[in-house]
A and B are shown apart, each in its own frame.
Chain A
Amino acid sequence: QSALTQPPSASGSPGQSVTISCTGTSSDVGGYNYVSWYQQHPGKAPKLMIYEVSKRPSGVPDRFSGSKSGNTASLTVSGLQAEDEADYYCSSYAGSNNPPYVFGTGTKVTVL
């Protein structure tokens, strides 16, 4: 099971929007509505931002939204703020495959 494919980098100015893609296969992203997204600041642990494709945990701003089409999921950050600058990773459940969870390659978001 290979890692999910994300663009290495994305950027936007404050107030703008940025969208990150996460491409897998029908065995993971396309097969389950269990895509999640994590934000990681340097030297810190990842933080759950989106689960089940588009749901936000309590406390996550509604500037963060998720979607999925076929084997590709997306995370959109609207109204970019300086604190959004971080690495973002997608993850998908892959059922009885090994491994049952696969992460994306990661995207560095830069706020210009």
Chain B
Amino acid sequence: EVQLVESGGGLVQPGGSLRLSCAVSGFTFSSCWMSWVRQAPGEGLEWVANIKQDGSEKYYVDSVKGRFTISRDNAKNSLYLQMNSLRAEDTAVYYCARVGVHPRAFDIWGQGTMVTVSS
């Protein structure tokens, strides 16, 4: 079964850090671009970052550049998002998503992990 399982969310103070993880199973992880997409409470979806199959290319939305780092470990079938200097506006459910068999579409999503930035 194809599955993405996020973990690492929680409550953190402004300026703090968190590392999200996404464990992948059921497909060849090393063959796919992967992304993080977030959704603030009651709001819409926002693409955050993506990473190429071998990790050689990474892209970020402007609002997280310099603060967030996406990475992957193909040997461990895992995707990561290191989030530093967190702000209240980063509060959201964070989903990992696969850009898989369908070009430029997110065909598999995890269940999401909640990140709350508050003092």
Residues of A within 8 A of B (CB): 3, 32, 34, 36, 38, 45-48, 51-52, 55, 57, 89, 91, 93, 98-106
Contact = CB atoms under 8 A, between A and B. Distances in A.
A101 B103 contact: no
B103 A98 contact: no
A89 B105 CA distance: 12
- Of A46, A47, A102, which is in contact with the most chain B CB atoms at under 10 Å from its CB? A46
Contacts of B109: 45-47
A46 B103 contact: no
B103 A45 contact: no
Nearest to A45: B109
Q: How large is the interface on B (under 10, 10 to 19, 20 to 34, 35 or more residues)?
A: 20 to 34
Contact of B45 (A32, A47, A89, A100): A89
B62 interface: yes
A33 to B, nearest CB: 9
B59 interface: yes
Given A99-B61, A100-B50, A100-B59, A48 B104 contact: no
B114 to A, nearest CB: 11
